[in-house]
Amino acid sequence: MKRFRLAFISANIIGVLAYVFLVQSCSKDTTKIPQQTICDSLGILTYSTDIKAILDQNCTSCHRPILHENNVDLSTYPDTKTAIEKYDIVCNIKFESGCVGMPNTGKMPDTPIQKIECWIKSGYPN
């Protein structure tokens, strides 16, 4: 009888551990949505319809023709393209380590960050 009980208890412990492991690995999957899925859900993004408004609202106060911090002008498509090719703007807007976070006054919300990132990854169409 004692043996049976012991086996029963250890089977339960294994069950609980397996459950915890499964729940944890599943919740990890749902909280971290793959970048490609996010980009697919945003559809085709272009400078003129999606990105210019974000840059005008968040960047051109410091990155425009008369005042262009670090020679970065984000007021037109050609100037923005030049900046993308010179700097790792995705690193800047995501405040990743190894680059200066932008806007330097505070990080933008997730949606504009994702839009700029997906747009750059898709080849920054005009």
* Residue from 39, 51, 89, 118 in contact with ligand HEC (CB under 6 A): 89
Query: Please, which residue, 82 or 125, has the CB nearer to ligand HEC?
Result: 82
The residue count for binding ligand HEC (CB under 6 A) is: 21
Q: Which of 49, 104, 122, 126 is the binder for ligand HEC (CB under 6 A)?
A: 104
CB 116 within 8 A of CB 54: yes
Residue 17: Cβ-neighbour burial (10 angstroms; 0-12, 13-18, 19+)? exposed
Residue 49 in contact with residue 34, Cβ under 8 Å? Answer: no
Q: Retrieve residue 106's tokens.
A: 């505070």
> Distance (Å, rounded) from C-alpha 55 to C-alpha 112?
9
**Closest by CA position to 54, among listed 102, 91, 101, 121:** 102
We find the least distance from the C-beta atom of residue 68 to ligand HEC, in angstroms, to be: 9
Neighbours of 105 (CB within 10 A): 9
Nearest distance in Å: CB 39, ligand HEC: 18
Question: Is residue 103 within the footprint of ligand HEC (CB under 6 A)?
Answer: yes
Site for ligand HEC contains 100 (CB under 6 A): yes
Binding mask 54-73 for ligand HEC (x = CB under 6 A): ----xx-xxx-----xx-x-
Chain residues binding ligand HEC by CB under 6 A are 58-59, 61-63, 69-70, 72, 74, 83, 87, 89, 92-93, 99-100, 102-105, 108
